Chains A and B, each alone.
Chain A
Amino acid sequence: EVYLVDSGGGLVKPGGSLRLSCAASGFTFSSYSMNWVRQAPGKGLEWVSSISSGSGDIYYADSVKGRFTVSRDNAKNSMYLQMNSLRAEDTAVYYCARDAWDIPFLFDHWGQGTLVTVSS
Chain B
Amino acid sequence: DIQMTQSPSSLSASVGGRVTITCQASQDISNYLNWYQVKPGKAPKLLIYGASNLETGVPPTFSGSGSGTDFTFTISSLQPEDIATYYCQHYGNLPPAFGPGTKVDIK
A positions within 8 Å CB-CB of B: 4, 37, 39, 44-47, 59, 61-62, 95, 97, 100, 103-113
**Which of chain B's residues have a CB closer than 8 A to the CB of A107?**
34, 36, 44, 46, 89
Whether A105 lies near B101 (C-beta < 8 A) is no
Instruction: Please name the residue on chain A nearest to B99 by beta carbon.
Output: A44
- Considering the chains assembled together, what is the distance between the CA atoms of A106 and B38 in angstroms? 16
9 pairs of A and B residues whose beta carbons are closest in the complex: A105-B91, A105-B96, A110-B43, A45-B98, A110-B44, A44-B101, A112-B43, A47-B96, A44-B100
Does B87 contact A106, Cβ atoms closer than 8 Å? no
Nearest Cβ distance between residue B42 and chain A, in whole angstroms?
7
| Number of residues from B at the complex interface, CB < 8 A | 22
**A106 adjacent to B91 (CB under 8 Å):** yes
Partner of A100 from B43, B49, B89, B100 at Cβ < 8 Å: B49
Given A44-B99, A46-B98, A47-B97, A110 and B91 contact (CB-CB distance below 8 Å): no
Secondary structure at the A interface, as helix, strand, loop or mixed, is: strand
* Partner of B44 from A45, A46, A47, A104 at Cβ < 8 Å: A45
* Contact indicator A45/B43 (Cβ below 8 Å): no
Q: List B residues 61-107 near A (Cβ within 8 Å).
A: 87, 89, 91, 94-101
| Cross-interface CB contact of A95 among B44, B94, B95, B96, cutoff 8 Å | B44
Nearest residue, chain B, Cβ from A4: B43
Whether the Cβ atoms of A59 and B94 lie closer than 8 Å is: yes
CB distance from B31 to the nearest CB of A (A): 12
Given A44-B100, A45-B38, A47-B98, check contact A104 B91 (CB 8 Å).
yes
Q: Return chain A residues, CB-CB under 8 Å to B101.
A: 44-45
B45 part of interface (Cβ distance < 8 Å): yes
Report whether A111 and B49 are in contact in the complex, using a CB–CB cutoff of 8 Å.
no
Residue of A nearest to B42 (CB): A112
